[in-house]
Structures are given as structure tokens and as C-alpha cells.
Amino acid sequence: MKIGGHMSISGGFSGIPERAKSIGLNCAQVFTKNQRQWISKPLNMDDVILFQENSKKYGLLITVAHASYLVNLAAPDNENWEKSIKSMVHEMERCSQLKIPYLIFHPGAHMGKGEDFGLNRIVDAIDKIIELSEVKDVNITLETTAGQGTNLGYKFEHLNYIIEKVSDEKRVNVCMDTCHIFAAGYELRSEKGYENTMNEFQNKIGFEKLVAVHLNDSEKALGSRVDRHAQIGYGYIGRQGFKNILLDKRFQDVPFILETPGGEELYPQDLNVIKEIFEGEIL
Ligand SMILES: [Zn+2]
Ligand SMILES: [Zn+2]
């Protein structure tokens, strides 16, 4: 099983593989820079090389990146939209240096301009990013969202629309966040509800596009459209929901990435629950 967590980069990248291993993780997710700033100083290449060496040494199978939350590719305001595009191009470059193949981001918020406007704006932005970026070894990865405020991506149709409209769909992948889809209204707990959700994902997007799963429980109820993560088994999705997800063969080769409250300090608690589910202790 590929299991990782979002890791802090405050001490640089090179220490991440050893910390991940000590927690019991074999994958990781990082921000490529201070995510509250648009621009950041160039990467320290000694740190980057050591990160790659340590990834091998400590058995890190894959690291993915999460883009800055400042980015809004659906922004109606031109200045903000262009800044967001530039920031994504900048982050693609950093991913490439770090040998990170997937840059995950929330598709964007239309800010009242309507969903059609927002979705087309995102399509145009992605085309621009791919055109402007010299990087060829990093894919843009759309994350499913909870649909808070005017955020797009809370329906599988939204992601499908974007993938079908961009000029190079091979450069676009998908990350499924379990908390987000549940908050957006996709059932995960009952066997039937779970199957309906995953069949819909297969029909609208397809598992072949899926490159990561954000494994989070939800502090808010089904369809609440509120994005609030909970530790695995302690939210509304609960152990039954995670049993469906974790034992589903369709996720066998996809990295699960924890983004649960408490971060690195509390991931061991999430891992214990995951272990219990695998050992059948909660059946
Ligand atoms: Zn997420
Ligand atoms: Zn979230």
C-alpha cells in the first residue's frame, strides 16, 4: 500500500524522507514554497539533491506537490488570474527540479461570475500554463473540492469538463480528496452509496486519470459543502467509509496522502486506525 502524508518543508526538503519513514509513511506531499507567498527565492539545490538521495535511501516511493492556496485559475480579475498562472508556472519549475511528477491544486473559485465562466477560465489558464512552462515532466493535477463558497470542482462533471476542453489532456490528472467529495455530497459509507460514487467517478472521469487520493475524514456532514478535515475514523465518513475505500482494489496503486489535523505529529494515530481496518478489527 502506498501511504503518505502532507509534510512540512520548514526545515527544507532533505529531512522529509527520514521523517516520513520514521512515522511509517512511504509517500509524501509537500508545498514547493511558502504557500502564503506568490514568489519565493530559488530552491537550494544542495537540499534538493539530498532530498532525492534520501528519498531513495529511506524508501520514499513518490512525492507529490500541493500548489499555493493563493492560486485561483478561475479568478475573474485579470491581474489575479495572470498572477495565478505565473505562480503555477513557477511551481511547475520547482516540481521539476525536485523530480515531483504531479502538482495538485484546487481548480478555482468563480467569485460570483458563474460556473460556466469559471470552468472556461480554468481551461484557458491551464492551456496558458502548459504553453508558458518549459517543464514537460510535471502534470497539472485537479483536486476534487468540497464546493465551499464559489469553488468549482465539487462535481465530477466539473473536472471532466476541464479535462475534455484543455488542449493537451495528457498533461492533466486528478486527485480525489475523500473529505471533499463527501462534503460535496458523494456518499462513501453504505456499500451501495460507495459503489454509486465510485461508478460515477469511473464514468465521469475514470480511474486511469487518478494519481493521488487525499485520505481525510470529514468534520462536517454529507453535502455540507464545508471543507473541514478530521482524523481517519473520527469524522462523518467514519471507519465504515474508510473500510470501503481502503479495501477497494481500484486504489491499490494510487498513493493515499493524509492531510489530517495534527499533521506529522498525529499521523501515527491515523495509521493505527488504517491498520485496524486492514486487520478487520472493526468489521
Ligand atoms: Zn486535499
Ligand atoms: Zn480540504
Domains of the chain: 3-278 (3.20.20.150)
Ligand nearest to the Cα of 180, by number? 2
Enumerate residues 6+ apart whose C-beta is below 8 A from 272.
none
Mean pLDDT of 9-30: 98
Ligand nearest to the Cα of 257, by number? 1
The pLDDT assigned to 281 comes to 65
* CA distance linking residue 129 with residue 103, whole number of Å: 12
Contact 268, 22 (CB under 8 A): no
The pLDDT assigned to 260 comes to 98
Q: Please, what is the average pLDDT of the chain?
A: 97
Ligand nearest to the Cα of 235, by number? 2
Ligand nearest to the Cα of 104, by number? 1
How does pLDDT run across 123-152, given as a tens digit for each residue? 999 999 999 999 999 999 999 999 999 999
Mean pLDDT of 221-233: 98
Distance 53 CA to ligand 2 centre (A): 31
Mean pLDDT of 237-256: 97
The pLDDT assigned to 36 comes to 86
Contact 207, 159 (CB under 8 A): no
Distance 228 CA to ligand 2 centre (A): 6
Residue 250 above 60 pLDDT?
yes
45 C-beta neighbours (distance < 10 Å), count = 9
- Please report which confidence band the pLDDT of residue 90 belongs to, taking 50, 70 and 90 as the band edges: very high
pTM: predicted TM-score of the whole model, two decimal places: 0.97
The pLDDT assigned to 121 comes to 98
Find the helix packing angle between 78-98 and 45-57, rounded to 10°. 60
Amino acid type, 269:
Q
The pLDDT assigned to 141 comes to 98
* CA distance linking residue 19 with residue 21, whole number of Å: 5
Host H or E run for residue 251: none
Q: Cell digits for 201? A: 467517478
Distance 164 CA to ligand 2 centre (A): 25
Distance 113 CA to ligand 1 centre (A): 24
Ligand nearest to the Cα of 143, by number? 1
Mean pLDDT of 231-239: 98
Distance 64 CA to ligand 1 centre (A): 12
Q: Cell digits for 166? A: 484543455
The pLDDT assigned to 196 comes to 98
Distance 39 CA to ligand 2 centre (A): 23
Q: Where are the alpha helices (DSSP H) in 221-262?
A: 238-246
* CA distance linking residue 29 with residue 95, whole number of Å: 11
Distance 214 CA to ligand 1 centre (A): 5
- Provide the annotated active-site residues: 36, 66, 69, 106, 143, 177, 180, 214, 227, 229, 259
How far apart, in Å, do the first and last CA atoms of the chain sit? Answer: 20
- Please report which confidence band the pLDDT of residue 227 belongs to, taking 50, 70 and 90 as the band edges: very high
Distance 34 CA to ligand 2 centre (A): 18
* CA distance linking residue 163 with residue 170, whole number of Å: 9
